[in-house]
Chain A
């Protein structure tokens, strides 16, 4: 077992839903509803799920960009869940985030070199010539030319802009980089460039990624372990190869069966689930997936399954077969 860099325990984020003139609370959005996982040093944990399942809320809570309703976040063994802004500053350097939209996350009026160098300057780690040299080095690391430091964001392509975001995230020598859909906005041929870059940088620097994406193939590629979320909960978590070889949660199975395979000779699309994802406002009781599950039993409507080990660290939250889910 690798050293635990990040431990998240029973994380919850609920938002009240208010309505009417009196703004009375009429419901609760269970954005994240009891999520636990850990992440080792140098490890990549992929977090997959469909829109609205709570992936980004987990990411933002881990970084304390939003305050969780309850639960615990430990970084390097230290509980950071309730640290004050000043106390948190020390940890800010070790945790960085790369967002989906490289267009929205860059200040259009700043030159690229200043964008990348800003964290170093703000933390008083470098200035003048030394700062410029550090930034030039960061540019090279992410495959940009140092002479591009003078250019503005609009002068870069989407893929290059994402490289700028990555360079900025690298600047302070983080130990954890949260990537929230970092390649979803990019073209296929450019996605591969950015994924390879992220893999290479991890090999060089040994940091960990919490890698969030809706694209299973992308996650399958970059992750060591994968967690699948559905309606605010992790329904399955396992080593990557194990998860794709032997998915045990009916939702994971449906998700995998839904991905169109780029091979005309492979099995044609066979949707294993009907209907839509229910609303996270007052989600279904029991197993949140029971409304769409092919195997749902009476118990599933009442009892909420918890993540249980189905063997070799493969955890699944499903009541089938004594809580070990369903083998395919």
Chain B
């Protein structure tokens, strides 16, 4: 465990709700976690479990209406982000906390040259001459390994390939050397060979700059290869948290366990692929009509009476390995 003075981000009991036609629901329900300097925390879970809303909450970018952060604290270094005015938050966004998205065009301006966009982002936060900012822009493009950065800086986003655009977005996000970078499925839309390049790049830069990284993904392979710690979300809640080693060695939550068993793997040399994959039966519940007890109970093979009646508390099973399951102690033996 990292020493607390090294904490970049400290999220406590975050709660974000949406008011929709079909009712009110908690997209993020009582979620806590921390990120240290230079650390990668992965958030993993299936579609709709609240990963992106968590990220948007940290950035204070939840669309309101229909969404609203209704509880908790988000402390970035020594600043309580949820207490800031929108104007104060705007100064911090892109400077001390940055975000990159699955689709680079959500943060790139299609009608502005790549270099100018970085210049603009830098000058918004730093008192620099246009010349100095331009040098930083080219330097950043070089850092993200875009070939011929001087020429590329003069190009428009559509002139770059998908992988190059993703690099340009990373360059922009890191230009002010933020303390925390949030990457929401940054490689999901990319081909696997490009994904490997981009992930390697993000990790290299993070090491070089000491940035804290929150990496959101649904791919357990990406988690295993990039993160030091993981949180697993299900239906808006954190159901498990552990170091990657501990999580993959012995998941404590039946959902995590099911997820790991259900992913097809590229067979290791000499190992035949199994006949059938393990499935998790059923589907993810609607957030508007969550079961009273454990949200995973309707799909869980270990569920007992108590699971349907009471939500299991997050419990530390040793060494910072947390799980919210009534039967976590038995999961390893039973399954």
Contacts and interface: CB of A to CB of B under 8 A. Distances in A.
Q: Tell me, yes or no, whether A binds B.
A: yes
Q: Max chain A CB contacts within 10 Å: which of B193, B245, B284?
A: B193
A273 B277 contact: no
Given A196-B277, A220-B267, A262 B262 contact: no
B267 to A, nearest CB: 5
Contact of B266 (A160, A261, A273): A261
A260 B219 CA distance: 9
Contacts of A261: 221, 224-225, 265-266
A221 B277 contact: yes
Given A218-B264, A241-B267, A276-B164, A271 B221 contact: no
Interface in A172-228: 187-193, 195-196, 199, 214-218, 220-221
A157 B163 CA distance: 32
A255 B263 contact: no
Contacts of A276: 161-164, 194
Contacts of B199: 260, 269
A244 B266 CA distance: 8
B264 A220 contact: yes
B109 interface: no
B266 A259 contact: yes
A120 to B, nearest CB: 28
A259 B324 CA distance: 31
B263 A188 contact: yes
Interface stretch (B205-213, B268-276, B312-320): B268-276
Contact of A214 (B191, B264, B273): B191
A195 B281 contact: no
A263 interface: yes
Interface in B246-268: 248, 258-260, 262-267
A19 interface: no
Given A189-B259, A256-B266, A264 B283 contact: no
A250 B264 CA distance: 23
A191 B218 CA distance: 13
A245 interface: yes
Q: How large is the interface on B (under 10, 10 to 19, 20 to 34, 35 or more residues)?
A: 35 or more
A257 interface: yes
Given A260-B222, A260-B225, A190 B265 contact: no
A263 B277 contact: no
B191 A50 contact: yes
B281 A193 contact: yes
Contacts of B279: 189, 192-193, 196
Contacts, number: 139
A65 interface: no
A122 interface: no
A195 B226 CA distance: 27
B69 to A, nearest CB: 26
Nearest to B187: A260
Contacts of B260: 262
Interface of B: 46-47, 161-164, 191-197, 199-200, 218-226, 244-245, 248, 258-260, 262-267, 269-270, 272-273, 275-281, 283-284
A145 B279 CA distance: 19
A271 B266 CA distance: 16
Contacts of B272: 241
Contact of B193 (A193, A262, A271): A271
B195 A258 contact: yes
A192 B193 contact: no
B266 A216 contact: yes
Nearest to A52: B191
Q: Which 5 A-B pairs have the closest CB atoms?
A: A260-B221, A192-B262, A50-B191, A258-B196, A221-B264
A190 B283 contact: yes
B16 to A, nearest CB: 21
Contact of A258 (B192, B264, B267): B192
Interface in A138-190: 157, 159-160, 187-190
Contact of B221 (A159, A199, A259): A259
17 contacts: A50-B194, A188-B262, A189-B258, A191-B262, A192-B278, A193-B281, A195-B264, A196-B277, A199-B276, A256-B266, A262-B260, A264-B224, A264-B244, A272-B193, A276-B162, A276-B163, A276-B164
Contact of B263 (A262, A264, A268): A262
Nearest to A159: B283
Interface in A262-312: 262-266, 268-274, 276-277
Contacts of B273: 220-221, 240
Contacts of B263: 188, 192, 217, 262
B234 to A, nearest CB: 10
B321 to A, nearest CB: 14
Nearest to B195: A258
Contacts of A258: 192-193, 195-196
